[in-house]
């Protein structure tokens, strides 16, 4: 099977799972599919674009910025939206604003500050170059769903990989207000990763409650980024609007995991 056919088959089976789960949940529209291309080459991104994928996710700036540059001249990739889904170091914000449409991992005020500052500089640079401004950065507040979040040891969670991190649920509203007040950032909604080894229904149910509370203050912030290859049905049941799916489309990631 060619790589193109492999990707087409993976995509078709994930799309079918999404449609089935959405129908089971009585939902009228399917959630958006973000295909997570981390560890896979830019040629896979280009192939996915020809298969109708509009949204791709990446978790490391160095890898993402290289792939965005590699696909920039490809007309098939012109409409692609790059979603940054990994832990964001403040010093990477300047790079991320050059290619990313959205950041799903906003979990502290220093990241909000860095992103807005980087956006301010990016818009200025574009104006000086005589090019059009970019759209505001779409920001998802990543919420830590680990049991007992709040007293969590920040260092311990930071060492467990890119999927960790996330704000304490009690801090979501304050972060939301900071994003709302930032000139070049838009508040999209919330994001979470279900903790390993726990019931995803519990985590996604809690995330739905947090989203509900957020929408009480900010009705437009209705996006819920949740669900990966292993748990997307649970996420759809609990109202996910954006799914981040990697391995079930692209295959097992080389190296890690």
| Nearest approach, Cβ of residue 131 and ligand PLP (Å) | 31
Closest C-alpha to 39, from 161, 141, 128, 183: 161
36 is a contact residue toward ligand PLP (CB under 6 A): yes
118 is a contact residue toward ligand PLP (CB under 6 A): no
Residues whose CB is less than 8 angstroms from the CB of residue 39 and which lie 6 or more positions away in sequence, other chains included: 63, 253, 254, 255, 256
144 is a contact residue toward ligand PLP (CB under 6 A): no
45 is a contact residue toward ligand PLP (CB under 6 A): no
> Which residue lies nearest ligand PLP, judged by its C-beta?
246
From residue 5, give the alpha-carbon distance in Å to each of 12, 43, 52, 223, 250.
Answer: 10, 13, 14, 32, 11
Residue written as tokens 């193109």?
Answer: 4
From residue 104, give the alpha-carbon distance in Å to each of 5, 85, 199, 246, 254.
Answer: 30, 5, 22, 15, 23
Q: Which is nearer to ligand PLP, 75 or 254 (CB)?
A: 254
> How many C-beta neighbours within 10 Å does residue 204 have?
24
77 is a contact residue toward ligand PLP (CB under 6 A): no
Residues within window 80-99 making contact with ligand PLP, judged by CB under 6 A: 85-86
192 is a contact residue toward ligand PLP (CB under 6 A): no
Residues within window 47-76 making contact with ligand PLP, judged by CB under 6 A: 59
Stretch that binds ligand PLP, among 145-153, 178-186, 199-207, 223-231 (CB under 6 A): 223-231
Measured distance between the N- and C-terminal CA atoms of the chain, rounded to whole angstroms: 25
Tokens in use for 112? 């909000």
Q: Which listed residue (77, 163, 189, 242) binds ligand PLP by CB under 6 A?
A: 163
| Nearest approach, Cβ of residue 110 and ligand PLP (Å) | 20
Question: What are the start-end ranges of the H helices in 25-164?
Answer: 42-50, 61-71, 93-99, 109-128, 154-158
Q: Which listed residue (8, 182, 228, 236) binds ligand PLP by CB under 6 A?
A: 228
Which residues sit at the interface with ligand PLP, rule CB under 6 A? 36, 38, 59, 85-86, 162-163, 193, 228-230, 244-248
């Amino acid at each position: 099977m060619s790589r193109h056919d492999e990707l087409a088959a993976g995509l078709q089976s994930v799309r079918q799972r999404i449609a089935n789960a959405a129908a089971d949940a009585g939902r009228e529209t399917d959630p958006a599919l973000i295909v997570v291309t981390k560890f896979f080459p830019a040629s896979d991104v280009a192939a996915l674009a020809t298969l109708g994928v509009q949204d791709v996710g990446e978790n490391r700036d160095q890898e993402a910025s290289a792939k965005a540059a590699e696909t920039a001249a490809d007309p098939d990739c012109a409409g692609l939206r790059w979603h940054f889904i990994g832990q964001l170091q403040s010093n990477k914000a300047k790079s991320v604003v050059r290619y990313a449409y959205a950041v799903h991992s906003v979990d502290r005020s220093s990241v909000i500050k860095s992103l807005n500052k980087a956006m301010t500089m990016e818009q200025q640079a574009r104006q000086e170059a005589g090019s059009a401004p970019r759209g505001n950065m779409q920001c998802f507040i990543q919420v830590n769903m680990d049991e007992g979040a709040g007293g969590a040891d920040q260092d311990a969670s930071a060492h467990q990989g890119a999927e960790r991190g996330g704000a304490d649920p009690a801090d979501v509203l304050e972060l939301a207000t900071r994003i709302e007040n930032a000139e070049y950032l838009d508040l999209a909604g919330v994001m979470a990763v279900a903790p390993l080894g726990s019931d995803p229904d519990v985590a996604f149910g809690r995330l739905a409650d947090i989203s509900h509370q957020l929408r009480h203050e900010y009705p437009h912030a209705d996006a819920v980024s949740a669900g990966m290859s292993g748990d997307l049905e649970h996420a759809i049941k609990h109202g996910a609007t954006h799914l981040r799916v990697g391995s079930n489309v692209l295959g097992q990631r080389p190296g890690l995991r």
